Copies of this chain bind each other. A is one copy, B any other.
């Protein structure tokens, strides 16, 4: 994408994608040509998204021209552009580090699969887990990371390891060529600039609620 989309708009894009995807899924059974011809209005999108129609029109204007005068947007073009903005035109291969409770649950993520993320490997150091399968995905020995990462074309690593080993594991997976990290540990990772880290700190979310219930926010 050469065109610059504002950060705020970009952050709303996954919601657009999810709404369009849902409309698409709900119309399963219709002829494919249906979605190709479908026009979706800003009001319809606004209703599905909970954003104002003005917001929707402004957001979509940033993406390009999909308008059909007085009617709405071309569904298929809009969907394809948003998909591209979000990097969802590709299939992404995901490895989960730590095959414990949380790692196992993530290996079952049907939603991830539907969006184009495929879990192709789990890694652990626990000999009782290595070799097992979780939702048909094999648990590999962490020591074999380099060879497995290449064979399985892993793009994204999910960290569900103990806090103390998070940085070490991150260093190893970056060295093996993985460029994206989804970090479920509370450790603040230090990574090179070309590595994308998204932190998922569940405790912080819970504190966010208590904070608001206690009336600070």
Contacts and interface: CB of A to CB of B under 8 A. Distances in A.
A179 interface: yes
A202 interface: yes
Contacts of A111: 186, 202-203
- Copies of this protein in the assembly total 2
Given A101-B108, A205-B200, A213 B182 contact: no
A59 interface: no
Interface in A188-217: 188, 196, 198, 200-217
Interface stretch (A69-77, A87-95, A123-131, A165-173): A87-95
B85 A206 contact: no
Interface residues of A, number: 60
B209 A156 contact: yes
Contacts of A143: none
Contact of A203 (B85, B112, B155): B112
A210 B5 contact: no
Given A86-B207, A105-B101, A196 B182 contact: no
Interface of A: 1, 5, 7, 10, 13-15, 17-18, 49-50, 84-90, 92, 94, 101-102, 104-106, 108-109, 111-112, 115-117, 155-156, 179-182, 186, 188, 196, 198, 200-217
